[in-house]
Chain A
Amino acid sequence: DSGVTQTPKHLITATGQRVTLRCSPRSGDLSVYWYQQSLDQGLQFLIQYYNGEERAKGNILERFSAQQFPDLHSELNLSSLELGDSALYFCASSVGPGQNYGYTFGSGTRLTVV
């Protein structure tokens, strides 16, 4: 158990629908990062939050949004889902600013859009 909790582990939904993925960071970590990993592809950075504020955006579609709540958990909202959105979505956390700190990853949510 890495300490980063992601729910649900699996999600199957239809095109056009909206889903919410949840992430609880490791205790004490203030930064949360969201990544998308498609089959045979590397990690695509989506968005970063630090202590409730958005800090950086990557290749996140306009149909996707996220937020980090006062208790530091984060949610990634995916709407108007398309078949191509099927992927593994990972959340990672880190203690915060600090070059020498790595990330701790959750086990991911596997989203299948049918």
Chain B
Amino acid sequence: GNSVTQMEGPVTLSEEAFLTINCTYTATGYPSLFWYVQYPGEGLQLLLKATKADDKGSNKGFEATYRKETTSFHLEKGSVQVSDSAVYFCALKLSADSNYQLIWGAGTKLIIKP
């Protein structure tokens, strides 16, 4: 079936470190891919998205490239800040699903230490 797999957390990094959070997917057809972020005590916010292969989504210094050949959408940031501490969710949406539901990964908790 269709699914999203994220690396397990928590991921703990020092400030200014390079970040990668892995996300791979299994899907029929050509999904759109999303990263959401949930800061402590808040709801989820759309961070970035990519709607077709080789697209790169970017926002707030974060980037992710839609890699069809490896079915991946890894989230990267060159220099993390303490304020990036949050839970990050990878998700996909299928055109074949008439309800256009998002299929979610389990989330990866990121902790940035000063």
- The answer to whether A102 touches B105 (Cβ under 8 A) is no
- The answer to whether A42 touches B93 (Cβ under 8 A) is no
Number of CB contacts from chain A to chain B under 8 A: 61
Q: Give the interface SS of chain B, mostly helix, strand, loop or mixed.
A: loop
- The answer to whether A90 touches B34 (Cβ under 8 A) is no
Which residue from B46, B49, B104 sits with its C-beta under 8 Å from A43? B104
Asked whether any CB of chain A lies closer than 8 Å to the CB of B44, the reply is yes
B29-45 interface (Cβ within 8 A of A):
31-32, 34, 36, 42-45
- The answer to whether A42 touches B89 (Cβ under 8 A) is yes
CB-CB < 8 A to A33: which residues of B? 101
Query: Using an 8 Å CB-CB cutoff, how does the interface string of B70-114 with A read, 1 for contact, 0 for none?
Result: 000000000000000000010001110011111011110000000
Min CB gap A43→B, angstroms: 5
Which residue from A42, A45, A50 sits with its C-beta under 8 Å from B105? A42
Query: Using an 8 Å CB-CB cutoff, how does the interface string of A70-88 with B read, 1 for contact, 0 for none?
Result: 0000000000000000000
Asked whether any CB of chain B lies closer than 8 Å to the CB of A14, the reply is no
- The answer to whether A99 touches B51 (Cβ under 8 A) is yes
Min CB gap A92→B, angstroms: 8
CB-CB < 8 A to A4: which residues of B? 43
Which residue from B43, B99, B101 sits with its C-beta under 8 Å from A2? B43
- The answer to whether A99 touches B100 (Cβ under 8 A) is yes
Residues of B bordering A, CB below 8 Å: 31-32, 34, 36, 42-46, 49, 51, 89, 93-95, 98-102, 104-107
10 closest cross-chain pairs (CB), A and B: A105-B43, A102-B46, A42-B106, A105-B44, A99-B95, A107-B43, A56-B99, A100-B51, A55-B99, A99-B32
A-B contact pairs, 18 of them (CB 8 A): A4-B43, A31-B100, A42-B104, A43-B44, A55-B99, A90-B44, A97-B98, A97-B100, A99-B31, A99-B32, A100-B49, A101-B100, A102-B34, A102-B49, A103-B102, A104-B46, A105-B43, A106-B43
